Amino acid sequence: MNLKWTLLLACCFIMTHCKNGQEPKTLIPLSDMAIHTFEIKDPHSNANFNEVVVKHLDWKAEVDFDQKKIKARAEWTIENKTEATKLILDTKGLAIESVYLNGDQETTYTLLDGDKLFGQPLVIDIQNNTKTVTIQYQTSEHAAALQWLSPQQTHDKEAAFLFTQSQAILARTWLPCQDGPGVRFTYNAEVNVPKGMLALMSAVNPVKTNETGIYSFQMDQAIPSYLMALAVGRMEYQALDHHSGVYAEPGMLAKSAAEFVDLPSMINKAEEMYGPYRWGQYDVLVLPPSFPFGGMENPRLTFATPTIIAGDQSLVSLVAHELAHSWSGNLVTNSDWEEIWINEGFTVYFEHRIMEALKGREYSEMLASLTYQELIEELDAMKADGQWADTKLKVDLVGRDPDEGLTGVPYNKGYLLLRKIEETVGRDKWDGFLNTYFSTYAFHSMNTETLIGLLEEFLISENKAIADSLQLRQWIYEPGLPSNAPVPSTQRFLAIDELTKQWLDKGELTQVMKASSQWTTHEWLHFINNLPKDIGIDPLMQLDAAMALTQSTNAEIQAAWYQLCIVNQYEEIYPYVEEFLVEVGRRKFLTPLYKALMQSETGAVWAEKIYKQARPNYHPVSYQTIDQIVPWK
Ligand code: BES
Ligand code: ZN
């Protein structure tokens, strides 16, 4: 057969194939997506990474629990792109002791005046032949990335504990670095900790406590500073399969491992959809309860709150989320914090896809419906609070704490946009795009403009109907939710709405009780979140008597239920709220509960009393937020 005939037959084959809707999975050949690079301007870093950039870190540290300090030596290998004579690093509260070039050549430096948000730029004099810059330094007692826990503040109450939380701009409080997500480096570390403790980092990790207290780490894949992480304490490891496992305090290990049995299949599902997991090992570290976030996607070692250990695996979508960051965020990284929706929106979308693959569409649709409702309520609140401009996907954070951009918008509006794209162009095509996107841009930065260019080039350009129905720029650059936004919905929630209505109309709880014996955590959350905000004390007492919601041990249900009770001043339950707030330091739960308490006079008295007791247990990330809500001095 000659070439002409072969081509003709191939075309016929493709055409009939596509007509039958059986398009091949990856539609865009990898080689077709070019890497667009762009100059990074980071409003939250003083570092001069466009002139001299750090490439590798050799970190030697001693963790001193008595003084609550890390004493360290950071040796940076640099690449001087512009014959610059100064290297500028971000620092915040670090005591700098000395700086050397190429190992042994002492050099001069200035620590510029401090900025409350962004810290003190460390300006180091370098020379043409400078290959490495070594900084000897100590952290301060107030380092906001670090939480030093007494034994009493841990789960097992047997040994002290330290963990870091670097995102967004807190790495500079424990490491002089170019502290923006647009700079990547590899690292080695040697960390000296008290004997009997284990040290873990976002790197290749030990699985056992050793006798020396000295641990070595290696991270050969370049990561940005916000993914630098360290945890030190009494911890043990349990493998789940050959490349995933769980670390926790000994008393939490069995429960944690049981909760995460599905982790290996989550990883498989993720890889089937969006390409190989690129980081080798994937472990989860279950931290003491004061961890201020739900989870943090530190490479190779997700940090997680123990509040997801519900005993019934009902909150493990959080691990799917952090796992998904191994692609969206850790491989393809937002170029600066105004672009955070590129990390979080893609990750929520990917999280839901993992959960759908694992548990089915109805399950993932319950997750999506819950967050949809949260988003709608948050958008209303942001409008009322004059924060409407922050409901754009791309936010203006110049001169502001990147924390201010950390609303539900980049997460859930971001998710809805990606779901909208999927629904508009079709799942196969969209998955093909994402696959290519993750592999092409792995270990690169992404920003909104580059992303729009890619979406237009590969999914939109030749099809005006798609462009018209998407309204991409409105989604990204305008506040609020566009009218074409998808609305997640599930029969299981609609059925609950019906039962709730009947109960509230007729006062007869039997049907709710009968149905609820089969409810999952997500159905409970939908039920609680959709009760009238001003429901009043009697129905709450009726519910509590029948279903003991106040005694729930599921942190999500507790938080939702307590909030509703507080708003309705159902004060009998306040001692339970107190116990919860003293124990748990996860900011997502603290903020709405303290806010609700502060709305009434009696509530405010409780809030102040509770906060006084609880504040010393909280991580700086959490107490800096709650300080704005509850008077505490
Ligand atoms: N990377 C974020 C946490 C984060 C974002 C910390 C920005 C500091 C600044 C993490 O992946 C995350 O989103 N965690 C969520 C859980 C998730 C299931 C929505 C959290 O902690 O609540
Ligand atoms: Zn996230």
116: left (phi over 0), alpha (psi -120 to 50) or beta: alpha
Residue 512 counted as domain residue: no
Q: Which atom of ligand 1 is nearest to the CA of 294?
A: 21
Do both 443 and 388 map to the same domain? yes
Do the Cβ atoms of 132 and 107 come closer than 8 Å?
A: no
pLDDT band at 408 (very low <50, low <70, confident <90, very high): very high
Q: Does 424 score more than 60 pLDDT?
A: yes
Mean pLDDT of the 196-223 span: 98
Distance of alpha carbon 277 from alpha carbon 270, whole angstroms: 8
Ligand nearest to the CA of 297: 1
Both 68 and 109 in one domain: the answer is yes
pLDDT at residue 230 in the model: 99
- Find the CATH number of the domain harbouring 542: 1.25.40.320
Q: Are residues 350 and 362 in the same domain?
A: yes
In sequence order, the β-bridge partners of residue 123 are 88, 110
Among all ligands shown, which has an atom nearest to the Cα of 406? 1
pLDDT at 18: 39
pLDDT band at residue 462 using 50, 70 and 90 as cut-offs = confident
Q: Is residue 550 lining ligand 1, measured as CB closer than 6 Å?
A: no
Task: Tell me which residue has its CA closest to atom 5 in ligand 1.
Answer: 167
Of all protein residues, the one whose alpha carbon is nearest to atom 22 of ligand 1 is 294
- Clarify whether residues 288 and 344 are in a common domain: no
Q: How far apart are CA 264 and CA 271, in angstroms?
A: 11
Q: pLDDT of 98-108, one tens digit each?
A: 999 999 999 99
25 pLDDT band (50/70/90 cuts)?
low
Q: Is 571 annotated in the active site? A: no
556 touches ligand 1 (CB under 6 Å): no
- Is ligand 1 within 6 A of the CB of residue 143? no
Q: Where does a domain end: 207, 234, 261?
A: 234
Tokens, residue 357: 């693959």
CA of 325 to the centre of ligand 1 (A): 10
Q: Which atom of ligand 1 lies nearest, measured to the CA of 588?
A: 22
Tokens at residue 626, please? 């709650």
- For residue 296 and ligand 1, the question of a CB distance below 6 A is answered with yes
> From the candidates 249, 259, 297, 322, which is the catalytic residue?
322
Pairing between β-strand 185-192 and β-strand 52-64 as defined by DSSP bridges: parallel
- Assess if residue 269 is contained within a domain: yes
Q: pLDDT tens across 357-400, in order?
A: 999 999 999 999 999 999 999 999 999 999 999 999 999 999 99
pLDDT at position 14 over 80: no
Q: How far is CA 428 from CA 17, 23, 415, in A?
A: 14, 7, 18
Confidence of residue 28 (pLDDT cuts 50, 70, 90): low
Helix 427-440 and helix 448-455, axial crossing angle in degrees, nearest 10: 130
256 and 162 belong to one structural domain: no
Tell me the three-class secondary structure of 572-632, residue by residue: HHHHHHHHHHHHCCCHHHHHHHHHHHCCCHHHHHHHHHHHHHHHHHCCHHHHHHHCCCCCC
Instruction: Judge whether 483 lies within some domain.
Output: no
Model pLDDT, residue 377: 98
Structure confidence by residue, pLDDT tens digits, 567-613: 999 999 999 999 999 999 999 999 999 999 999 999 999 999 999 99
Same domain, 289 and 331: no
Instruction: Indicate if 310 and 336 belong to the same structural domain.
Output: no
User: Is residue 442 included in any domain, yes or no?
Assistant: yes
435, 457, 477 - which closes a domain: 477
Single-letter amino acid, residue 137 = Y
Does a structural domain hold residue 357?
yes
> Ligand 2 mean position to 490 CA, how many Å?
24
**In a shared domain, residues 318 and 336:** no
| Same domain, residue pair 334 and 458 | yes
pLDDT (0 to 100) of residue 29:
58
Domain that holds residue 200: 52-234
Q: How far is CA 134 from CA 74, 87, 105, in A?
A: 6, 12, 9
Residues 69 and 211 in one domain: yes
For residue 212, report the distance from its CA to the centre of ligand 1, in Å: 34
Judged by DSSP in three states, 53 sits in: strand
CB of residue 274 inside a 6 A radius of ligand 1:
no
Mutation pick for ligand 1 pocket among 44, 293, 322 (CB with most ligand atoms within 8 Å): 293
- What does the pLDDT read at residue 7? 43
Which residue is catalytic, options 411, 594, 611, 618?
Answer: 411
Ligand nearest to the Cα of 370, by number:
1
Overall number of domains in the chain: 4
pLDDT in tens, 43-62: 999 999 999 999 999 999 99
Nearest CA to ligand 1 atom 17: 318
Among 270, 303, 325, residue at a domain's last position: 325
Does residue 583 carry a catalytic annotation?
Answer: no
Q: How far is the CA of 84 from the centre of ligand 1 (A)?
A: 36
Sort 6 into a burial class: Cβ within 10 Å, 0-12 / 13-18 / 19+.
exposed
- What is the reported pLDDT for 32? 85
Closest-lying ligand 1 atom to the alpha carbon of residue 351: 18
Please provide the average confidence, as pLDDT, over all residues in the chain: 95
CA Rg value for the chain: 26
Indicate whether residue 325 lines ligand 1 (CB < 6 A). yes
Cβ contact 471:482 at 8 Å: yes
For residue 411, the CA-to-ligand 2 centroid distance in Å is 8
Amino acid symbol at 442: A
The SS3 of residue 171 is helix
CATH number of the structural domain spanning residue 287: 3.30.2010.30
Interatomic CA distance for residues 619 and 294, integer angstroms: 13
Which residue's CA lies nearest to atom 15 of ligand 1? Answer: 294
Taking a C-beta distance cutoff of 8 angstroms, is the pair 309, 286 a contact?
A: yes
Is residue 511 assigned to a domain?
Answer: no
Is 318 touching ligand 1 by the criterion CB < 6 Å? yes
Ligand 1 pocket test target in 165, 323, 334, 344 with most atoms within 8 Å of CB: 344
pLDDT over threshold 50, residue 42: yes
**For the chain, the helix, strand and coil percentages under 3-state DSSP, each to the nearest 5:** 45, 20, 35
Q: How much distance in Å is there from the Cα of 294 to the middle of ligand 1?
A: 6
- DSSP E strand boundaries for 243-381: 244-248, 282-286, 295-296, 301-304, 332-334
Q: Are residues 130 and 223 in the same domain?
A: yes
Q: Is the CB of 321 under 6 A from ligand 1?
A: yes
Running DSSP on this structure, what letter comes out for residue 95? E
Q: What does the pLDDT look like over 58-86, one tens digit per residue?
A: 999 999 999 999 999 999 999 999 999 99
Q: How far is the CA of 271 from the centre of ligand 2 (A)?
A: 18
User: Which residue's CA is the closest to the ligand 1 atom numbered 14?
Assistant: 295
Q: What does the alpha-carbon distance between residue 202 and residue 170 come to, in Å, rounded to a whole number?
A: 15
Closest CA to 285 of 311, 305, 307: 305
Please check whether residue 208 lies inside any domain of the structure: yes
The band of 8, judged by pLDDT with boundaries at 50, 70 and 90, is very low
Task: Return the sign of the alpha-carbon dihedral for residues 398, 399, 402, 404.
Answer: negative
The pLDDT of residue 17: 39
The finding on whether 283 has its CB within 6 A of some atom of ligand 1 is no
Q: Are 401 and 117 spatial neighbours (Cβ–Cβ below 8 Å)? A: yes
Regarding whether 333 and 317 lie in a shared domain, the answer is: no
What is the C-alpha separation between 482 and 121, in angstroms, rounded? Answer: 41
Answer whether residue 334 is part of any domain: yes
What local confidence, expressed as pLDDT, does residue 15 receive? Answer: 41
Residue 608 near residue 576, CB atoms below 8 Å: no
Give the 3-state secondary structure of residue 230: strand
Q: Tell me the mean pLDDT in the region 545-559.
A: 97
**Does residue 527 carry a pLDDT above 90?**
yes
Give the residue, 24 or 467, on which the prediction is more confident: 467
Whether 322 is in the pocket of ligand 1, judged by its Cβ within 6 Å, is yes
Q: What is the CB neighbour count within 10 angstroms for residue 394?
A: 18
CA of 566 to the centre of ligand 1 (A): 26
DSSP summary character for residue 112: P
